[in-house]
Amino acid sequence: MLTIAIQNKGRLNEDTVALLADAGISASASHRKLISDAKGFPLHVLYLRDDDIPQAVAMGVADIGIVGLNEVMEKGCEVEIMMSLGFGACRLSLAVPKAVDYPGVEWFNGKRVATSYPKILKDFFKENNITASVHEIAGSVEVAPAVGMADAIFDIVSSGGTLIQNGLREEDTVIESEAVLIATPGLDEDKAAALDKLMFRFKSTLESRGMKYVLMNLPKQKVKDAVAILPGMKSPTILPLANPEWVSLHVVLHEDILWEKIEQLKNIGAEDILVLALENLIK
Ligand code: ATP
Ligand code: MG
């Protein structure tokens, strides 16, 4: 049976448990447990701090794990990155006090930079021929310049609000991160097959997120126009109605383009438009 390591609490826990749930797998969200069995898929769930997940997977303590790409890169463990999971988006960026006149990354020569990601930062400085001193601190990195512990910081940014609150300005993004599924390299055949099944569920789940099932009535002679409005679809489903002049058109649309497409379809005569939630899109 596969063992998956997930974050026991913190930012990724809820979205991870939700992804599993959408894939038909119920795992307790409880961080009081260390390990539990999931329902709906043969899976042991190991609850760890995110820092420990790359190593647990590299060692084979867990076969797979869900963790931020930032942690995978920082730990430098030998794991395979199987797929991105579409949540936990953030970036690791260099930020300087807002009064600094920043000419470019060469500014960092001779500076002290506080971070919780020393490996990624040192690699970046090396690639860019910067000699700076990297100070590793575990938390509240953003206050380091204000208290005189550092000249600048290298930290996780998502909205950028924390930087602004601390009088800092983001200058260079070093990596973009999101939650990823990782695996121990060289899983045996049975585990690899189980992982394939799990990834199939995750992919279907992620693809169906944000999708809506749309039904409408349309004058029969407008079908060609409707197909032109709905590009990229193999073909919408067209069903006859009791009135031979009309058809029922069914289509799956992403919510980002839903209203724009509905307006266009209304303009060519679509009526009685129903928008339904879509549970799963299995290709
Ligand atoms: P743990 O107790 O498990 O070590 P943590 O405090 O190190 O948790 P969290 O703050 O829970 O970590 O963040 C977990 C991950 O969430 C990060 O490593 C990153 O991949 C992602 N993330 C997304 N947005 C943010 C953000 N704004 N701040 C911090 N992490 C973020
Ligand atoms: Mg952590």
Q: Identify the pLDDT of residue 279.
A: 85
* 127 plus 160 within the same structural domain: yes
Question: How does pLDDT run across 92-145, given as a tens digit for each residue?
Answer: 999 999 999 999 999 999 999 999 999 999 999 999 999 999 999 998 999 999
49 within a domain of the structure (yes/no): yes
CA dist., res. 212 & res. 189, Å (int): 37
CATH code where residue 238 lies: 3.30.70.120
* 164 plus 264 within the same structural domain: no
* 126 plus 164 within the same structural domain: yes
State both tokens at 182: 């990782």
Q: Identify the pLDDT of residue 89.
A: 96
283 within a domain of the structure (yes/no): no
16 within a domain of the structure (yes/no): yes
118 within a domain of the structure (yes/no): yes
Q: Identify the pLDDT of residue 214.
A: 94
* 81 plus 184 within the same structural domain: yes
* 98 plus 118 within the same structural domain: yes
- Is 196 exposed, middle or buried, given 0-12, 13-18 or 19+ CB atoms closer than 10 A? exposed
Q: Identify the pLDDT of residue 31.
A: 66
Which H or E element spans position 171? strand 168-177
CA 11 to ligand 1 centroid distance, Å: 5
Its pTM stands at 0.90
Amino acid at 198: L
Q: Identify the pLDDT of residue 233.
A: 63
Domain count, the chain: 3
Measuring CA to CA, which residue among 162, 167, 171 is closest to residue 139?
A: 162
**Dihedral sign (CA 40, 41, 47, 53):** negative
Q: Which residues of the chain have pLDDT under 50?
A: none
Q: Which residues neighbour 180 within 8 Å (Cβ) at sequence distance 6 or greater?
A: 66, 67, 68, 69, 72, 81, 82, 83, 84, 85
- In this structure, the residue with its CA closest to atom 19 of ligand 1 is 68
**How many helices (H) does the chain have, and how many strands (E)?**
8, 15
**CA angle (121, 122, 127) in 5-degree steps:** 100
110 within a domain of the structure (yes/no): yes
* 173 plus 183 within the same structural domain: no
* 124 plus 228 within the same structural domain: no
* 65 plus 100 within the same structural domain: no
* 32 plus 155 within the same structural domain: no
44 within a domain of the structure (yes/no): yes
Q: Identify the pLDDT of residue 281.
A: 82
* 74 plus 51 within the same structural domain: yes
Mutate to test the pocket of ligand 1, among 8, 49, 50, 180 (most ligand atoms within 8 A of CB): 50
CATH code where residue 134 lies: 3.40.190.10
Domain containing 172 equals 90-177
Q: Identify the pLDDT of residue 33.
A: 77
* 80 plus 185 within the same structural domain: yes
Mutate to test the pocket of ligand 1, among 8, 12, 162 (most ligand atoms within 8 A of CB): 12
282 within a domain of the structure (yes/no): no
* Closest approach atom of ligand 1 to CA 71: 18
- In this structure, the residue with its CA closest to atom 13 of ligand 1 is 11
Number of Cβ within a 10 Å radius of residue 130: 18
* 217 plus 94 within the same structural domain: no
Q: Identify the pLDDT of residue 28.
A: 84
